Structure 1
Amino acid sequence: MSVTSTDQPTPDRGSLREAAAGQDRPELRKSIEEIVEAGFLGVTLRVHDERGEWAGSAGLRELGGTERPPVDGHFRIGSNTKTFTAALALRLVAEGAFGLDDPVADHLPEFGPDRRITVRMLLRHTSGVFNFTGEVGEDGTVVPGIGLPYGEGGEAWLDDRFRTYRPEELVELALSKPARFEPGTGWSYSNTNYVLLRLLIEKATGRPFAAEMRRLVLEPLGLSGTVVPETSPEIPEPYAHAYYRYEEAGEQRTVDISRQNPSWVSTGGDMISTTRDLHTFISALTGGRLLPAPLLAEMCAPHPTGIPNMDYGLGVFVVTTDDGGTIISHNGGISGYAALMYSTPDGGRTLTASLTYVDDAAMTLAGTFQQVTKQLVEKVFGGGQAAPAS
C-alpha cells in the first residue's frame, strides 16, 4: 500500500487514552501519550513490578485509521532476536552440543573463519568480523554491506524488501571484508556474529534453527505469540503497522512496510513477538528458569563496549542505572518497528514495549527514540539509560 503524506496525523485525545489491563497507572499512561506526542505513530507498553501488571497502548494502529495499537498485538522485535538466539545457544551448551570456547572454525570450516574466533566471541560481539549490514569506521568512512533502509540506499532497500537472503551469503559477504580488529581485542556490534551462530547451531544439531528455537525456548516457555519467520513476509494478526517515507518527484510518499522478508537480518533481527511474550521470556531468562546458574552468570557478566554505563554480556546489554543499579536489556529496531525489553537481574521487574513509526532514510526519529526510551526506563526502574536499538 502506498499513500501520499507530508507528515503523520496527530491522533485525537480519544486515541491517546489508555487501553489497559491491570490497575490504573496514570504515570505510565502519561508516558505512552508523551511518546506519541513526540512523533511516534503508536506505542504498546507492558510493565510488571511489585504492584502487578500494567499493559496499555496509545496512538494509532495504522495511518488513516482511528483504532489504537492492539495491546497484545504482534510486532517485529529487531535485535531482541539476539537475546533469543543467545539463550538458545546457551541451552545447547548446557546439552553439550558445543562449548563456549570452541573455535568456530571447528564447526564451520567451509567458511574459513579466523581460528581464534570462539563461540563466546560471537555471542559477545568481540570476534571483530565485518558487519554484513555495513560498517562505519572511526574516521567516519562507510564500508557498505547489503541494502539498508537508511542513507543513500534507503529507496533501494524499499524496492528490494521482499528479496530472500540465504544465511550463507550474508556470512560469505562479511568474511570477504577485512576484520575490524584481531579476535578478542575489541568490541563491535555485528549482525554477522549471530548469523554465524545460526549456522553453527544447525551444523552441531543437524536440525533447522527455527525447530531448535521452538524446542528449547519457545515451547518450554509457552511463547505462542513468538515466531521465527525465516523468509516469510507475513506478520500474524493482530498487529500495528509500520511505514517508510521517501521523496519522489518532489512529493513525500509513505509506504506500509509491515510486510517484508526479514531474511536480510537473519537470526540477529528477524523474529516477531508480543509484549506479553517478551515479558515471559526475559523474566524467565533472568529469573533462572531457562539456563543453569553458571551459564546465566556467564550471559550477564559485563564486558566493556566503550558505551557509557552500558556493557555487553552474551546476547544482552548490562546497563548501569544512574543510581548504581543494574538492568539486563536488549532493544531492537527494524524499519518502522522498535522493541524494548528490560529486566532487573532477578526478573522481578520488567518493561517490554513496541513502538511503531514512519521511518525514513535520514533516521529522523533516532534521537527522539533514545530520549523517550531513557525517560520511560527512568520512570519504571528509577533511573537508567536506554540500550540502543540495533
Structure 2
Amino acid sequence: MDLSLSAAELAWKEKARAFAETWLFPNELELELTGSLPRATKDRLRAAVVESGLNGINHTRAVGGQGCTQMEQTLINEELGRATGALWAVVWHPALPLRDGSPDQIRDFLTPSCLGRRRACVAITEPDAGSDTGRIVTRAERHGDRFRLYGEKWFVTTGDEADYVIVHALVDGDPDKPTLFLVDKDTPGLTIQREPKFTHTYVFGHPEFRFEGVEVGAERILGGIGQGLDLTKEWFVEARLQIAANCIGAATRAFEEASRWANRRVAFGKPIRQHQAIDFMLADMAVEIMATKSLVYRVAWGIDHGIDRKITHAHASAIKLQASEMAGRVTDKAVQILGGRGYMRENPVERLNRDVRVDRIWEGTSEIQRLIIGGQIAKRGPAIFTGWPGDNSGA
C-alpha cells in the first residue's frame, strides 16, 4: 500500500501553503482588530487567487476551474485552514450542485464563479429550520411560467460578498417539491435584514435575507423542481469535506505554536515541555491530528477511486464530526499551554480557538452527524465504517 503523496499533490499543497503565508497571514491582525478588510484588500486577494491558480479548484477546467482531485482539494484546504479569521474563504469553491445546471446556467453562473467574476452564497437555514430541512417554509409561488419567492433565510455565509443566491424553497409550499433557485442579489424584493455578529471573526458576513415576492423565471431553477433536497445534500457533503480539511490545518498551526512556546518558555528551571503535564498535552495533540489526518486523507482517496456516493455521504459525516471536535480539543490545549498569551487576540492560537468552534455547528451539527452515522450503521452495518476498501470480511 503506497501512502505517499504524488508530485502533483505535493505541488498543490505547496502552492496553497505559499498563498496562505503570502496573502492570508499578513491580513489576520487587521481583520481581527478592525472586524473587516477594506474593499481594496479584498479585491487584491481575489486577483491573487486567480493569479495563483487556486480559483474553482472543485470544478473542471472546462468550466473555468482547476480540475483538482478530492485529495488535491483536501491538501489545499488543509493549508488554507491554517489562516485565522476564516481567511481561507477568500479562495472560493463554487457550490458543487452548479455543475448540474443547464448550459445557460453554467455559462452565466458557474463559469464566471470559477473565474472569480461572480460569487454565490447558499441560503438554506431559516429562523425555525436548520439541520431539519423538513421545517423549511420559504416558498416559490407559480405565476404562469415564473415564480415568486417568499420567506426568510438566516446565516447566509458570504451573503454580503455574493452577487447571487442559491435559494432552497418549496414550490407552491409543497414539502415534496424542494427546489433550488438562482437569484441575483439585486432582484427587487430581496433585502438584507441585518448582519449579526458572531463569536468568531470572519472575513465575510453571515447576513439574514428576506424574500418578498422575489420574481424569477423557470430558467433559474437549478436541476429541476423537487430536486432541491438531493442537491442540497450534495452541497452538504462537499462542505463537510472542506471543513474537515480546514480543521486539520487550524489544529496543526495551533499545535505548532504551542510546541514552539513549550520549547521557549522556562518554568522552575527548565522548558515547560520537559514538565510531564505539558509534554502529555503535546503528545495527545499530535496523536489526535495524526489520526484525523489519516481518516480524512483516506476518505479523499476513496472518493478519487470511485467509492459509492452513498458511502461518501456517510464518511463525510464521520470526518466532519471527528475533525471538528478534534480541532476544538487541540486548540483548547494550545491556549492552555500558552497561558495568558494564548488568551490574547493578537495570538493566532486564541483566534483559532474561536474560529473552530463553529465547525461543530454549521453544515450539520455534531449531533446531526452522529444521527447520520448511526442511521448508516443500522442500514448498512458496521463495516461501512470499520471496513476497508477491498475488504469484505466485515460485511
TM-score category (smaller protein) = under 0.3
Structure with the greater relative contact order (CA < 8 A, sep ≥ 6): 1 or 2? 1
* TM score, norm. by length of structure 2: 0.24
User: Which structure has greater strand proportion?
Assistant: 1
Structure index of larger Rg: 2
User: Which structure has greater helix proportion?
Assistant: 2
